[in-house]
Amino acid sequence: MSTRTKIKALLESDETNVDVTVKGWVRTFRNNQFIALNDGSTNNNVQIVVDFENTDAALLKRITTGAALSVTGTVVPSLGKGQKIDIKAKEIEILGDSDPEKYPLQPKKHSLEFLREIAHLRFRTTTFGAIFRVRNTLSFAIHQFFQERGFVYLHTPVITASDAEGAGETFHVTNFDLENIPKTENGEIDYKQDFFGRATNLTVSGQLEGELGAMALSDIYTFGPTFRAENSNTTRHLAEFWMIEPEMAFADITDNMDTAEALLKYVIKYALDKNKDDLEFLSTRLLDEEKQKPQNERSEMTLLEKLQFCLDNDFERLTYTEAIDILKDSTPNKKKKFQFLVEGWGTDLQSEHERYLVEKHFKKPVILTDYPKEIKSFYMRQNDDGKTVAAMDILFPGIGEIVGGSQREERLEKLEQRMDEIGIPKDELWWYLDTRRFGGCPHAGFGLGFERLVLFVTGMGNIRDVIPFPRFPKNAEF
């Protein structure tokens, strides 16, 4: 019988002088005597002490970095530093060899760029083990937050027929033989002959469908993959990312802000409680990384302090208009240090402006509201001033925009008028407009980019390092 003990459980228990079986992968093997074994249940390794004098030399040779082992032995108090217990091996079985000459993950420091190229193996590093355990916890915590509040998890389609939202460039979905695409008499692509009988794409947002759900279920949320063919090679954009999109009936923009802030605090707290070891490790990793930077570019707080700070403080709430005034008067704007100078009301905020507000001016998360309608989507509720809409974006230190949301326009005439102004085909969105025709009501929602959240909580610098297999321009390996 395989009564395997996970290393996390073993290290948490104080019991010694018992026999256990552990299974995992060798991180290091020192002096033919000490194996650091890790099974992914925790970022801590268990130390296996091998009685090398009484162990077959051929077996010893096969204990190499990366090899998979099953070890049965006695738990004993450790004589070494840094761990409470060791396992004195009685029986070692090699489950999978790993040729040390060829194994790409040597027991030394590898760059994150290199590890991205071996993403199939990077889970086995302490850093990526920690990241993906934290990612798991955050994902669970998100479901728990909404479930505790009676939200219904709604699965919106991945394949859709419209990019009416205009959220970004879409990926086309087609079944056509690309060598021989059917054309109409006018020479246009004849989508009538395609699988769905019309042009389709991968979803850029589940919001519009989410609103339909909320108009019956009251509170819904989606949590699924989202695709944008934006050619932005940044540290904050992926072509495939996961988004959480709650939609709440009978809610206004303040309810929306309150929910988003509560959600972010809830999941950060959850991760701090659940993944303390991982976050302590990541906090130290960040400190080490920042030692390479000049003093003035280093963070004032450690990762753990930053997360705690986020829990202890209210997010700063202000309007776009107030933000523009602050930015216009700011030193980098006056000294022309911004790449895009803030000249007046109406321009979209660039990431450098968002980061100035969050990191320099307020030094805490910021919620910006009431943006000019011209720079926001058609479905956002028009404010009485005729110029702004009830939008809200949450900006985080080191990240910029992490949440984008709004109160939705529930008034049919206002919505149609805005769609006409922007040129959004109303006939295509007949189903969306129906919700305003039949029992429409005030409602609000937002989109939280899951990887941006994981970036913030893990303190990593590149979004490609917080999703197992990142998709970005010219890359779909693995």
Which one of 46, 138, 154, 238 is in contact with ligand ATP (CB under 6 A)?
238
Evaluate whether 402 touches 394 at the Cβ level (below 8 Å): yes
- Shortest CB 377 distance to ligand ATP, Å: 8
CA distance 42 to 40: 5
Q: What sign does the CA torsion over 159, 162, 168, 171 have? A: positive
Q: Which is nearer to ligand ATP, 86 or 451 (CB)?
A: 451
- Shortest CB 282 distance to ligand ATP, Å: 20
- Shortest CB 117 distance to ligand ATP, Å: 21
The verdict on 324 binding ligand ATP (CB under 6 A) reads: no
Q: Which is nearer to ligand ATP, 404 or 459 (CB)?
A: 404
Q: Which is nearer to ligand ATP, 144 or 235 (CB)?
A: 235
- Return the number of other C-beta atoms located less than 10 Å from residue 340's C-beta: 13
The verdict on 241 binding ligand ATP (CB under 6 A) reads: yes
Q: Which is nearer to ligand ATP, 2 or 233 (CB)?
A: 233
- Shortest CB 448 distance to ligand ATP, Å: 6
Q: Which is nearer to ligand ATP, 215 or 243 (CB)?
A: 243
- Shortest CB 350 distance to ligand ATP, Å: 9
Binding residues with ligand ATP: total (CB under 6 A): 17
Q: Which is nearer to ligand ATP, 77 or 468 (CB)?
A: 468
CA distance 283 to 93: 36
- Shortest CB 409 distance to ligand ATP, Å: 16
State the residue number with the nearest CB to ligand ATP: 449
Q: What sign does the CA torsion over 278, 234, 260, 163 have? A: negative
Q: Which is nearer to ligand ATP, 236 or 353 (CB)?
A: 236
Evaluate whether 445 touches 209 at the Cβ level (below 8 Å): no
Q: Are strands 68-77 and 46-49 parallel, antiparallel or unpaired?
A: unpaired
Q: Which is nearer to ligand ATP, 191 or 221 (CB)?
A: 221
- Shortest CB 283 distance to ligand ATP, Å: 23
With contacts defined by CB under 6 A, name the span among 21-29, 187-195, 238-246, 420-428 that binds ligand ATP: 238-246
Q: Are strands 46-49 and 85-96 parallel, antiparallel or unpaired?
A: parallel
Tokens of 235: 């540290």
- Shortest CB 17 distance to ligand ATP, Å: 51
- Classify 306 in phi/psi space as left (phi over 0), alpha (psi -120 to 50) or beta: alpha
Nearest CA among 167, 170, 135 for reference residue 470: 135
With contacts defined by CB under 6 A, name the span among 263-271, 283-291, 305-313, 402-410 that binds ligand ATP: 402-410
The verdict on 237 binding ligand ATP (CB under 6 A) reads: yes
CA distance 327 to 95: 60
Between the CA atoms of 448, 450, 452 and 453, what dihedral angle is there, to the nearest 10 degrees? 90
Bridge partners, 406 (sequence order)? 391, 445
- Shortest CB 467 distance to ligand ATP, Å: 9
Tell me the three state secondary structure of residue 75: strand
* Residues ≥6 apart with Cβ < 8 Å to 71: 21, 22, 23, 35, 37, 48, 87, 89, 91, 92, 93
The verdict on 243 binding ligand ATP (CB under 6 A) reads: yes
Residues 427-466, mask of contacts with ligand ATP (x by CB under 6 A)? --------------------x-x-xx--------------
Q: How far is CA 261 from CA 39, 254, 306, in A?
A: 35, 11, 16
- Order of strands, sheet of 159-160, starting from the edge strand that comes earlier in the sequence: 159-160, 200-202, 172-173
Q: Please count the residues of the chain.
A: 478
Q: Which is nearer to ligand ATP, 271 or 402 (CB)?
A: 402
With contacts defined by CB under 6 A, name the span among 60-68, 79-87, 123-131, 229-237 that binds ligand ATP: 229-237
- Return the number of other C-beta atoms located less than 10 Å from residue 330's C-beta: 18
Q: Which is nearer to ligand ATP, 124 or 237 (CB)?
A: 237
The verdict on 261 binding ligand ATP (CB under 6 A) reads: no
Evaluate whether 41 touches 4 at the Cβ level (below 8 Å): no
Q: Which is nearer to ligand ATP, 26 or 402 (CB)?
A: 402
- Shortest CB 79 distance to ligand ATP, Å: 48
Residues 139-178, mask of contacts with ligand ATP (x by CB under 6 A)? ----------------------------xx----------
CA distance 101 to 169: 44
Binding residues for ligand ATP, rule: CB under 6 A, are: 167-168, 228, 230, 236-238, 241, 243, 401-404, 447, 449, 451-452
